[in-house]
Structure formats: C-alpha cells, structure tokens
Amino acid sequence: MVLRGTYLSTAGIRVRRRLSDYSKYVAGFVEYLRLSGKSEATVKRYRLFVEDFLRFYGSDPKEAGRDDIMEYFAYLRDSREYSDRSLALAGWSLRAFFKYLGMDDIAAWIPTPSFSVQYEPEWLPEDIVLKVVDRIAFLVVAYDLALRLREVTMLRTDGYNARTGYIEVVRLKHKGRPNRYVLPLRPYAKEVLDEYIERERPPRNKLFPISDRMIQYVFKRRLKECGLDPRKYSFHVLRHCLHGETRIVTPQGIVPAKLLYFSGSEVISIDLNNMKPAVGKIASRGFHKGFVYSIWADGREIVCTPEHRFFTLRNGKVVEVMARDLKVGDYVMGVERIRITNRRRCFDPKLWRLIGYYLGDGYYHKGTTEIAIYDRSRERIEYYASEICEPLNLSCRICKLSNRNSYVLRVFSRPLVDLFSLLGIDRHKRVPLQAYTATDDEIAQLIAGFYDAEGADGSFPIMYNTNKELLKDIQMLLLYFAIKSLLEKRVRSVTVPQGIKYTGTIYQLVVPHSDMALKFKELIPTLKEINVKSADPNKRKPAYQVPVCDVIRRVYERRKREGKKVSYFKGVSPVAILQRYSEIPPSKEKLREIIELLPDEPEIQALRPLVDGDIVWLKVTKIEKRPQEEFTESKMGVTVYDFEVSEYHNLITDGFVTHNSRLTNAAIQELKEKGYVDIVSLAKFAGHARPETTMMYVHLASKYLKIGKKV
C-alpha cells in the first residue's frame, strides 16, 4: 500500500501547503458542527479525524471515492492499530464531513464498526465516595454538585460567593446550549473550597486551572489508591434517580421508569402555582447503578436513591427535601387522584374481569392452551363460567380438586393464551400497561376480578397477595377513582393440612376509611360481601391531613395577643378551631373551613391552593435502606433511572410528587442567609429571560422575593 500526503516522510512542506489549501473545508465543517448543536468536545474530535484524513488523502476531498476511504481505514487499523471504537469514531467523523460536502451517497456508505463496552459503569455509595475525593477541592465540588468533567473546568473564581456558599455553574444539559445556575454548596464542600482558594489563589476566570484529562487522571488514581477498579466507575457518581419499577404518570397512562427511559417524551406534572396537573416535557434522561431507600408514607411506597428529592411543607411553603434527610413523621407531597385524559376502550369489560381474576389466583400451563383459576367458592367459579366465559365464547370446565376443598376453572382457548402472552401476564403477574389507559368501567371490572380472587368479606375492603408490585399496581388503579388505600407488610405463619408450618411475607392492600370504603363498594362490582358502616362525621378520621399547624399556631397566638376572635360557633356551641388545629393537622375540608372563617388573614388565605387542587400530604411512616439482594446480584447497587422535566420540574411517581431541580434549594438557602431572595440575580443564574419565569420555579411567597444586587 502506498501512503500519501503527510505519511511520505520527504514531503513535509508539500503536505502542510496542501492541508492549508483545504483549510476552508475544515473551517466550514467546524462551523457546520457548531450550528448543528454539537458540543465543543465533539467538534474537536471530528475536526482532528477530518484533518488526519485530508493529510492522508492529499487531494481535494470532493474527488475522494470509496476506495480512498477504505484505504484510510485499512491504514488506521493495520499501521496505527486502532480499536473498533476508534475506527467507529473515525467513521462518524467522516460521515458528518461528507454530509457537509453534500456527498450523501458516500456519507451513507462509510462503515462504522460495532464495538462493545468492556465494563458497565458502576456507582459508589456516599461513604466510599468521600474517601475517594479526600478533600481534593475539584473532586469534592464535582461530587457535591454532580458535575461533569467539563462543567468542573468551566467554574470561575469570581462566580463563587464565599459568604453565602453559592457558586455559578454552567450546566451542559443540552449539547452546545449550556444553562447557568447558582447552586449552594453543602458545608463540607464549602469548607474544602474555601481552604483551596486561600491556599492556591486561583485566577478570577478559572477556579480550577486544570484540564479534563488531569481531573480524570487524579480521579482514576484516587480509585486505585482506595483499592477500586477505575474501569468500573464513572466520574459522575451521584444522580437523583428512581427504581426501574417505579410507576410514572404520563398523558398516555402509567408506565414504569425503565420503559419511560426508552419511550415517551411527556409526563404529568403538578403546576405548583395552582397545585393542579399539567403536562411536562422530559428534557433529559439517564440511568446508573445506585443504592436505594424505601420510603413508606400513608400506605404508599417509593424506591429511590438517597439523593432523590421530595416536596414537603414548612411554614406553609413548599420546599424540597432529599430522601436521606426525611424523618418518620414528616409529610411529603402526593396526589389524591390520577387523571389521565387520553383514555379509550381497550377490551370488553368482561375480559378485564377475567384478567383480574386470573391475576389473583390463576395459573398458565406452559405449552398448552389451558388457563386454570382456583377458588374455594364453587358459586364464584360458576359465575365466571356462565357470566364471563360463555359471553366471551371461551370453552371452560369446572373441576373439584381431590386433595383439597377447592375448585378450578379450566379455560381452553388458544387466542386467550396468546393474548395473555402478548400482555406479558402469562409468566409475570402484573397489571397490563393497557389497563392504565382503559375506561373507568374496564378498570373497575379488572379490580373487581382481582378482589373476587384475593379480597376478603368484611366491614372494609382488603386484598392479600405475596406480590407487592401487583398490589401497588392495583393501588395506582384505585387512585383513578380517588380511593385511598394502604399497602402493608405482614409476616404470616400457615399450617397446611399435612401439618407442615410455613412462615413467609405477605402484603395486604386495605381501604380503611369509611368514605373511601363506601366509594369502593359503589364503584367496584365485586362478588365479595363488604358491609361498610357510615361513620359519624364528627368522629371519623380524615383520609388526608395538611401539615400547616405551624402557620395556624402563629396566627392563633397573634390574634390571641391582639384580642381578636379565636373561637367560632358551630351550631350553638363555640369551637376553638384555631387552637385545635394549631396542634393537630387539619383535613382539607377543615382547612377550607378555616380559610373561609379568616378572610382578613393573608397567611391563611395563602394556603388556599393546598385545598383546591389534587395535592395531598402523605405522612412518612417508615424509611429503610433496601437490601440489594431484593433486586440484583450486583454488589454496587440496582439500576435506577433519572428524568429531568422542563418547565414544571416534577413528576408523579408511585403516587408521590417528586422533584430533581436545585433552583428552589438555592433560593431557600439565600432566604436563610439574607432574609430575602434576589430574584433578578437568580433569574440570570438560571438562564431565564424574565424574572417572572424564575418565580414559577422558586416556590416562595412574593414578599420574600426582592430586586437586589447580584449574589
């Protein structure tokens, strides 16, 4: 093979002249990449490969053919011993270059070898990460703010306020379109950074005068010194993420996080200005491995990383709190009802009833056309045979089990087996995704079928199953009807007829509140007997409470000092409603009553959005670090997913409203330090053209927002 251009050792001067002759192509290509939104790092890599090819080719690139490109690739592979990954990068660079030249036929033909990543990046828990960063300033700051490599090198010394601990960060969320934020450093990171600045005195325009490669080198070296394999760990070791099975509400229904990662561009969010649902767009998404917490609140459970953010109420204001900072007794934001507008009829409601019955006590015989459903009640079995299977033209037979006092409904249908396989319920007992976009009638029939199999007769609805995720699916479906249910874990011991005793974990889904139980009985046509008694309105326990005792207490004490009215008549008796609910969180109904009684109290009137929307407040009852063996064999955690939602910056996950924006946190920190928030400065840092836009994200009362100098 004869090498051309640069690779002829006797033609150095000629090659430099030829490269300069075609520099107009390179300059135009670079501008084309930047206008296409490519990052500077991508532009640099593509430019280097294109310049290398021009040196090799030594002629006008518009005259290059397939043989010339194949000769270049052969040189890279044989003489330079490039890996498949490097060859693929060369291919991508030349594809973009020839597309820029208008040679689409050549661009489409250029090969890009496939390659595999040797190691999947792993993620580290916080205690190990702190050992790795070891008070090295740029690593500590990068970890505290979850920065990328280039974001670290773009930090400026004059963008850091040592008094408040704020630092201006350029977020490279979208390639070529960075956004500016002001973020608060935690005390540990602030201490390390202050020591670094005092010691090193960095220039104003460069907080860390160090290259990307040097940061990566130091990070990898620290991993080795801590006895860790640097190939397994990414520089970005901390994100705010959800477990893959987390149910996320979208306009098209409820989907698990691991599916939303690949499909879907919109989610249902909450507009925190009016506490009502709105459609938010997914701006970015990601996944990694991480250790997770299980947060239980008012009978709901969510599995997320310790850094995942929730909303809570403090002094009547919505603020953010990390999962790791939550405590038992705290209240977090949730939804009272799930509203999906794009719903349509999917199947015959009778078929949904059969699906629900099967999810409870059904079994699929692999390799056959038979589906078997077991029940102790012959009456219920006969109902499903005559009222469900016959109208659906399904062949079935009822059999008495010889070894126990139970019956089995055997349904023989190849189309039904194929449908169950298509829905994914032939092997895994989960509510099909199609149910989340079905009509109310179809959903009610599915729940009724499941209750027929797993529900109990009694004074309130209760369902049992060993499959927790299946019960959580049913819990989300109940929220379509605004029915509150509590998921509970039990350890149960059972003695079988053979005298053998088994002990295992079982879960129950309960609808304990009388109003909710009455609604369940009215809407869900189950065959089981539910004898709900209406509770005395004066004695019944509210389904949800609003944690605004601190606001009511402040108003009550002030009115009492000023000699204003604090007791109000209900019927013929005075009721000290303010005193009572300064100690006990009121229900939404009671809070609405207080708001109507006190039209002259601005603090009370500011609470109105808390009672007018679909928002409820869930009391945290348990926080536990989940053992990894529940999810995966990996010792480095489970796969979790992260979604960033533009505009509203929150999403509904397993009935909770969660958030991963840090702008509100920065405002709250400034409020603590200065007593007010400089909204103009914050808008500039956030990259918002108008301060009004920033005020939508900073959920604080307007009296705290002022125009001031830059922080």
Per-domain residue ranges of the chain: 22-109, 126-226, 349-523, 548-606, 661-710
Indicate the SS3 state at residue 658.
Answer: strand
Do the Cβ atoms of 677 and 691 come closer than 8 Å? Answer: no
SS3 percent helix, strand, coil of the chain, rounded to 5, is: 40, 25, 35
Contact residues for 689 (Cβ-Cβ < 8 A; gap 6+): 683
Mean pLDDT, 10 residues at a time, the chain of 711 residues: 39 43 83 82 88 87 88 89 85 91 88 54 60 86 78 89 82 50 74 92 90 86 85 57 78 83 78 83 68 89 85 84 87 92 89 94 80 91 93 92 85 89 82 91 96 91 92 95 92 65 83 90 93 62 86 89 74 65 89 88 88 89 71 53 76 85 47 56 48 46 44 31
Name the residue type at position 652: I
Q: Can you give the pLDDT at residue 488?
A: 92
What is the rounded distance in angstroms from the CA atom of residue 392 to the CA atom of residue 389?
5
Rg of the chain, C-alpha, whole Å: 31
Number of H helices, E strands in the chain: 26, 28
533: burial class by Cβ within 10 Å (0-12, 13-18, 19+)? exposed
Nearest alpha carbon to residue 451 among 387, 509, 400 = 509
657: left (phi over 0), alpha (psi -120 to 50) or beta: beta
Q: What are phi and psi of 175, to 5 degrees?
A: -60, 125
DSSP state of 702: G
Name the residue type at position 20: S
Give whole-number Cα distances, 317 to 182, 325, 336, 617, in Å: 21, 18, 19, 13
User: Angle between the 126-133 and 137-145 helix axes, to the nearest 10 degrees?
Assistant: 150
- CATH number of the domain at 22-109, please? 1.10.150.130
First to last CA, the chain: 64
Q: Can you give the pLDDT at residue 393?
A: 92
What is the rounded distance in angstroms from the CA atom of residue 141 to the CA atom of residue 215?
12
Indicate the SS3 state at residue 65.
Answer: coil
Name the residue type at position 244: G
What is the rounded distance in angstroms from the CA atom of residue 11 to the CA atom of residue 51?
17
Give the max Cα distance, the chain: 109
What is the rounded distance in angstroms from the CA atom of residue 414 to the CA atom of residue 128?
54
Pairing of strands 677-678, 705-706: parallel
Looking at domain 126-226, its CATH superfamily turns out to be Intergrase catalytic core (1.10.443.10)
Compute the C-alpha angle 320/134/208, nearest 5°. Answer: 80
Residue 204 in tokens: 């104003």
Q: Can you give the pLDDT at residue 373?
A: 92
What is the rounded distance in angstroms from the CA atom of residue 20 to the CA atom of residue 5?
13
What is the rounded distance in angstroms from the CA atom of residue 113 to the CA atom of residue 91?
8
What is the rounded distance in angstroms from the CA atom of residue 488 to the CA atom of residue 470?
13
Residue 539 in tokens: 């004695």
What is the rounded distance in angstroms from the CA atom of residue 692 to the CA atom of residue 682?
11
Place of tokens 């946190």: 665
Nearest alpha carbon to residue 360 among 515, 528, 530 = 528
Q: Can you give the pLDDT at residue 386?
A: 93
Q: What are phi and psi of 647, to 5 degrees?
A: 70, -65
For 421, other C-beta atoms within 10 Å of its C-beta total 12
What is the rounded distance in angstroms from the CA atom of residue 323 to the CA atom of residue 240?
10
Place of tokens 């991963």: 660
Q: Can you give the pLDDT at residue 411?
A: 92
Q: Can you give the pLDDT at residue 189?
A: 84
Cα 367 to the chain's mean position, in Å?
38
Q: Can you give the pLDDT at residue 215?
A: 86
What is the rounded distance in angstroms from the CA atom of residue 243 to the CA atom of residue 444?
28
Q: What are phi and psi of 527, to 5 degrees?
A: -85, -15
The fold adopted by the segment(s) 349-523 is Endonuclease I-creI (3.10.28)
Q: Which long-range contacts (CB under 8 A, 24 or more apart) does 554-559 make?
A: 554/603, 555/598, 555/601, 555/603, 555/604, 556/582, 557/582
Do the Cβ atoms of 371 and 363 come closer than 8 Å? Answer: yes
| Strand boundaries in 166-275, DSSP class E | 166-174, 177-184, 242-243, 247-250, 253-256, 266-271
Residue 351 in tokens: 């078929």
What is the rounded distance in angstroms from the CA atom of residue 76 to the CA atom of residue 83?
9
Do the Cβ atoms of 610 and 312 come closer than 8 Å? Answer: no
Nearest alpha carbon to residue 295 among 678, 658, 687, 661 = 658
Q: Can you give the pLDDT at residue 175?
A: 39
CA dihedral 554, 558, 563, 569 (to 10 degrees): -20
Residue 501 in tokens: 């005793």
CA dihedral 487, 493, 498, 499 (to 10 degrees): -170
Name the residue type at position 415: P
For 226, other C-beta atoms within 10 Å of its C-beta total 14
Do the Cβ atoms of 389 and 434 come closer than 8 Å? Answer: no
